């Protein structure tokens, strides 16, 4: 089965020429492989019938690549978080109504799709819902991550307290610690806990340690992390293959609103918790646990300071506790561990690397690193076949959205698996280009060129600045798709300046604590090199960025008038106020001193801004709070060189989303985002009038 666009493709156009077709492209995420290696499941998000939201469904892909992709779940609320039990039953979470309890208000429940076939059914519901599931690879064991109210004593008390809050319409949260918000969510009074899934009804437990679930109408959840407080927020737990323990990073407050992450082991039978690693200079996260459950990979993040840039390394730790042995410590990349080979001899990781994120294999005994995939693509969600010969992963690049592939680990050969949808044709081409920064360091970029660009028809140029700032333009993104702008005739430059990942520690050090310095001069060097080309029109350019990229767009606005327009999304404007108001102040307070923040703050240069700016911000953005956007907007109107006139009008624009977060996620809002950006760019770069969407109501 293949998802096809519901309208025929007009000649000479692509999905990137039509926002309705663009937002309707299916989006893959996540991969789960059954223990016997015969079944591979991914999640595919598609537009709902009204076009107002995405709904994800589970699809089965054939690991051998012979059979077409097959949709295996279907509901208005969608399904996610698939995890295979060793039996082949598939657990997932969904807020769809339970056919056996149609009266119940839908909240995310635990569902099971039996390996033997038949309908999916609910195996557990609870008032606070179920967030995610982890299944043991070598045992009949699984763990659920779910939230409980901080003061509740058991599941029934939790349900009563939730009902009391809801009935009284109380949303208040009394805090004693930090953080209080994350991304777009208010933290508390509920807190995450890990629950072991056990067979049987509450009070009627089934056979211990066995969760075939086949004859059981439901399962019980046993809380194995009682009394842990809020320490598991944002943790990524790992369940040992034998199901006997969990490893997880756990946050501990260290005073002054700061926190660090220690590594803990939780025994799933007893709930006994022990701290395996803690150090004032490092944060620890759990990586995958070896197939024999004896050894854990640990992600070691060096704690930063204004003069101490971040670094990420791997270590091996006896799962029972002991000393940490560095793994591949001389490798100048930041690895993300994915899985062990089944014989325990090597670890499969991904890492940003020169505009890609290949798959690598690290030999555990020698620490030797071998690059497996060689294409300019980014790999995620890597799982390993039971024979250890192949990996399956999602692969994307700036030329195609995520697709499922099979990778031969010995040769690096990559073959796409039959997919739910085809790769969308692109309205242009992609090139890798290189410039030299002010200090002589190489600055690499991707350059998207629209069809028809050439010396006789040079394309207007958009400089796109990525966020993070610790990141890289190396993978497909649905939120900033350069192809929509290429379809309108623009070239888009995607540079990786100082602070970008995948170029070694020196690239991070060059920009740490000095955002307005090397990151800015690198971006200008990349732009200079590209506008020198005959196929680019130097006289029609704009700079655009989101988050840190928006910070940099603001900095660009105050330091050069070379661009015709600037688009700044969810941007940091006044670094003196930003640090204490973002959702993770402890992170940003360690990035710069107050003096460095002031020195690098765009707001101090507002009087020099003479370029029209389009400010975009979502009110539910807790990462870069709306106060940044509001202050930027008011200061542009009152202090820039293009202030609001006596009629209140200005060349600047403010696109405000009252119900979006750091990202614009609703499909109809994404269309508004791209439409307003196109309108603004056409006005200032092309001198053309592009209509604004009628849904804006103006
Ligand atoms: C905790 C934190 O701030 N993390 C950063 C990765 C982040 O969110 N950066 C934002 C501001 C960005 O994308 O630039």
From the CB of 623, is ligand 1 less than 6 Å away? yes
By alpha-carbon position, which residue is closest to atom 4 of ligand 1?
468
From the CB of 183, is ligand 1 less than 6 Å away? no
Helices (H) and strands (E) in the chain, counts: 11, 39
The pTM of this model reads 0.95
What pLDDT score was predicted for residue 203? 43
- Interval between CA 355 and ligand 1 midpoint (Å): 20
Q: Is residue 210 part of a domain?
A: yes
Contacts for 498 with CB less than 8 Å, ≥ 6 apart: 437, 441, 507, 508, 510, 511, 517, 518, 519, 522
**pLDDT grade, residue 295 (50/70/90)?**
very high
What pLDDT score was predicted for residue 383? 98
Q: Which of 257, 283, 301, 468 for a ligand 1 pocket mutation test, highest count of atoms within 8 Å of Cβ? A: 468
pLDDT at 210 over 50: no
State which of 164, 198, 223 marks the end of a domain: 223
Beta bridge partners of 194: 145
Task: Quote the tokens at residue 365.
Answer: 């005994």
Count of other CB atoms within 10 angstroms of residue 687: 9
State which of 160, 195, 223 marks the end of a domain: 223
Q: Which of 469, 583, 626, 627 for a ligand 1 pocket mutation test, highest count of atoms within 8 Å of Cβ? A: 469
Q: Any idea which residue has 């791209």 for tokens?
A: 674
How is residue 563 annotated by DSSP? S
Whole-number Å distance between alpha carbons of 85 and 138: 9
Query: What is the chain's length?
Result: 698
Sheet of strand 414-416: strand arrangement = 378-384, 390-397, 400-408, 414-416
Task: Quote the tokens at residue 470.
Answer: 């610790």
Residues 328-384 pLDDT 10s: 999 999 999 999 999 999 999 999 999 999 999 999 999 999 999 999 999 999 999
Q: Is residue 323 part of a domain?
A: no
Q: Is residue 621 part of a domain?
A: yes
What pLDDT score was predicted for residue 12? 67
Q: Is residue 607 part of a domain?
A: yes
**Which stretches within 582-695 are classed as H helix?**
585-589, 594-599, 626-639, 667-681
By alpha-carbon position, which residue is closest to atom 6 of ligand 1?
468
Percentage of the chain modeled with pLDDT above 90:
92
Q: Any idea which residue has 């019980």 for tokens?
A: 220
Are 93 and 131 in contact by the 8 Å Cβ rule? The answer is yes
Q: How many domains does the chain have?
A: 2
From the CB of 500, is ligand 1 less than 6 Å away? no
Closest CA to 494 of 513, 478, 481: 481
Q: Which atom of ligand 1 is nearest to the CA of 551?
A: 14
Whole-number Å distance between alpha carbons of 107 and 45: 19
By alpha-carbon position, which residue is closest to atom 12 of ligand 1?
468
CA atoms within 13 A of residue 651's CA, in its CB half-sphere: 16
Q: Any idea which residue has 């790999």 for tokens?
A: 379
Whole-number Å distance between alpha carbons of 498 and 506: 9
Are 460 and 686 in contact by the 8 Å Cβ rule? The answer is yes
User: Residue 188: which domain range?
Assistant: 96-109+118-223
**Any idea what the CATH number is for the domain that residue 662 is in?**
3.40.50.1820
How is residue 16 annotated by DSSP? G
Closest CA to 224 of 264, 283, 178, 175: 264
Q: What is the residue-averaged pLDDT of the chain?
A: 94
From the CB of 624, is ligand 1 less than 6 Å away? yes
Comparing 115-129, 135-149, 313-327, which segment has the lowest mean pLDDT?
A: 115-129
Residues 396-431 pLDDT 10s: 999 999 999 999 999 999 999 999 999 999 999 999
State which of 223, 256, 289 marks the end of a domain: 223
From the CB of 359, is ligand 1 less than 6 Å away? no
Q: Is 291 exposed, middle or buried (0-12, 13-18, 19+ CB in 10 A)?
A: buried
pLDDT at 85 over 60: yes
Residues 483-517 pLDDT 10s: 999 999 999 999 999 999 999 999 999 999 999 99
- Interval between CA 76 and ligand 1 midpoint (Å): 32
pLDDT at 105 over 90: no
Task: Quote the tokens at residue 240.
Answer: 């040992």
What pLDDT score was predicted for residue 43? 97
From the CB of 182, is ligand 1 less than 6 Å away? no
Q: Which atom of ligand 1 is nearest to the CA of 572?
A: 11
Distance between alpha carbon 582 and the CA centroid of its chain, in Å? 18
What pLDDT score was predicted for residue 204? 47
Whole-number Å distance between alpha carbons of 247 and 264: 6
What pLDDT score was predicted for residue 3? 67
How is residue 318 annotated by DSSP? E
Q: Is residue 574 part of a domain?
A: yes
From the CB of 622, is ligand 1 less than 6 Å away? no
Strands (E), 303-374: 312-318, 325-327, 335-340, 346-351, 359-363, 369-371
Q: Which of 465, 587, 662 for a ligand 1 pocket mutation test, highest count of atoms within 8 Å of Cβ? A: 587
From the CB of 467, is ligand 1 less than 6 Å away? yes
Are 482 and 448 in contact by the 8 Å Cβ rule? The answer is yes
**pLDDT grade, residue 687 (50/70/90)?**
very high
Whole-number Å distance between alpha carbons of 532 and 493: 13
- CA torsion sign for 436, 437, 439, 441 is negative
- CA torsion sign for 641, 647, 650, 653 is positive
pLDDT (mean) for 83-92: 96
Q: Is residue 27 part of a domain?
A: no
Q: Is residue 388 part of a domain?
A: no
Task: Quote the tokens at residue 10.
Answer: 């007009």
From the CB of 44, is ligand 1 less than 6 Å away? no
From the CB of 548, is ligand 1 less than 6 Å away? yes
From the CB of 468, is ligand 1 less than 6 Å away? yes
pLDDT (mean) for 548-577: 98
Q: Which of 251, 467, 568 for a ligand 1 pocket mutation test, highest count of atoms within 8 Å of Cβ? A: 467
Strand duo 132-135 + 414-416: pairing: unpaired
Are 107 and 95 in contact by the 8 Å Cβ rule? The answer is yes
Are 692 and 675 in contact by the 8 Å Cβ rule? The answer is yes
From the CB of 99, is ligand 1 less than 6 Å away? no
Q: Which atom of ligand 1 is nearest to the CA of 469?
A: 14
pLDDT at 287 over 70: yes
What pLDDT score was predicted for residue 212? 44
- Interval between CA 623 and ligand 1 midpoint (Å): 7
By alpha-carbon position, which residue is closest to atom 7 of ligand 1?
468
Q: Is residue 434 part of a domain?
A: yes
Q: Any idea which residue has 């053309």 for tokens?
A: 688
């Amino acid at each position: 089965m293949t998802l096809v666009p519901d309208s025929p493709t007009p000649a000479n156009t692509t999905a990137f020429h039509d926002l309705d077709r663009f937002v309707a492209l299916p989006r893959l995420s996540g991969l789960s492989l059954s223990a016997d290696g015969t079944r591979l499941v991914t999640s595919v998000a598609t537009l709902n019938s009204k076009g107002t939201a995405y709904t994800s469904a589970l699809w089965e892909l054939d690991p051998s690549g012979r059979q077409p992709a097959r949709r295996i779940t279907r509901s208005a609320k969608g399904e996610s978080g698939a995890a295979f039990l060793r039996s082949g039953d598939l657990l997932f979470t969904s807020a769809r109504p339970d056919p056996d309890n149609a009266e119940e208000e839908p909240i995310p429940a635990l569902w099971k799709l039996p390996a033997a076939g038949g309908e999916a059914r609910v195996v557990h519901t609870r008032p606070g819902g179920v967030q995610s599931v982890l299944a043991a690879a070598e045992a009949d064991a699984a763990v659920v991550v779910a939230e409980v109210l901080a003061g509740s004593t058991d599941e029934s008390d939790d349900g009563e307290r939730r009902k009391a809050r809801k009935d009284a319409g109380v949303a208040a949260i009394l805090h004693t610690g930090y953080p209080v918000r994350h991304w777009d969510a208010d933290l508390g009074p509920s807190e995450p806990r890990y629950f072991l899934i056990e067979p049987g009804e509450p009070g009627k437990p089934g056979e211990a340690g066995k969760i075939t679930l086949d004859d059981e109408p439901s399962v019980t959840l046993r809380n194995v992390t009682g009394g842990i407080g809020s320490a598991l927020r944002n943790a990524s737990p790992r369940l040992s293959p034998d199901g006997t323990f969990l490893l997880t990073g756990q946050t501990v407050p260290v005073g002054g609103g700061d926190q660090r992450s220690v590594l803990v082991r939780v025994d799933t039978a007893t709930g006994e918790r022990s701290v395996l690693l803690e150090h004032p200079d490092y944060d620890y996260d759990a990586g995958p646990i070896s197939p024999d459950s004896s050894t854990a990979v640990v992600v070691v993040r060096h704690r930063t300071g204004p003069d101490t840039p971040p670094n990420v390394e791997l270590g091996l730790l006896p799962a029972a506790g002991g000393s940490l042995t560095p793994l591949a410590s001389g490798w100048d990349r930041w690895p993300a561990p994915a899985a062990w080979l089944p014989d325990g001899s090597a670890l499969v990781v991904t890492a940003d690397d020169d505009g890609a994120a290949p798959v690598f294999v690290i030999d555990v005994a020698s620490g030797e690193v071998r690059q497996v995939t060689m294409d300019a693509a980014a790999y995620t969600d890597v799982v390993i076949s039971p024979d250890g010969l192949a990996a399956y992963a999602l692969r994307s690049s700036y030329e195609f959205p995520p697709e499922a592939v099979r990778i031969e680990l010995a040769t690096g050969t990559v073959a796409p698996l039959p997919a739910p949808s085809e790769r969308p044709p692109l309205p242009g081409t992609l090139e890798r280009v290189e410039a030299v920064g002010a200090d002589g360091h190489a600055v690499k970029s991707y350059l998207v060129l629209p069809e028809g660009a050439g010396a006789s028809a040079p394309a207007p140029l958009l400089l796109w600045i990525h966020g993070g700032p610790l990141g890289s333009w190396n993978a497909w993104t649905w939120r900033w798709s350069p192809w929509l702008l290429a379809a309108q005739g623009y070239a888009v430059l995607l540079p990786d300046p100082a602070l970008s990942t995948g170029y070694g520690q020196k690239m991070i050090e060059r920009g740490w604590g000095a955002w307005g310095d090397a990151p800015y001069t690198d971006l200008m060097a990349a732009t200079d090199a590209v506008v020198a080309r005959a196929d680019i029109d130097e006289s029609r350019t704009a700079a655009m960025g989101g988050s840190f990229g928006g910070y940099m767009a603001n900095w660009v606005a105050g330091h050069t008038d070379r661009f015709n327009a600037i688009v700044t999304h969810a941007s940091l404007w006044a670094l003196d106020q930003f640090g204490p108001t973002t959702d993770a102040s402890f992170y940003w307070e360690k990035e710069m001193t107050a003096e460095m923040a002031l020195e690098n703050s765009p707001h101090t240069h507002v009087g020099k801004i003479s370029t029209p700016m389009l400010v975009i911000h979502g009110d539910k953005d807790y990462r870069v709070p709306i106060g940044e956007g509001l202050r930027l907007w008011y200061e542009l109107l009152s202090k820039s060189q293009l202030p609001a006139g006596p009629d209140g009008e200005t060349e600047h624009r403010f696109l405000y989303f009252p119900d979006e977060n750091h990202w614009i996620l609703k499909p109809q809002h994404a269309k508004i985002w791209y439409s307003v950006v196109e309108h603004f760019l056409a006005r200032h770069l092309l001198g053309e009038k592009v209509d604004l969407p009628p849904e804006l109501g103006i």
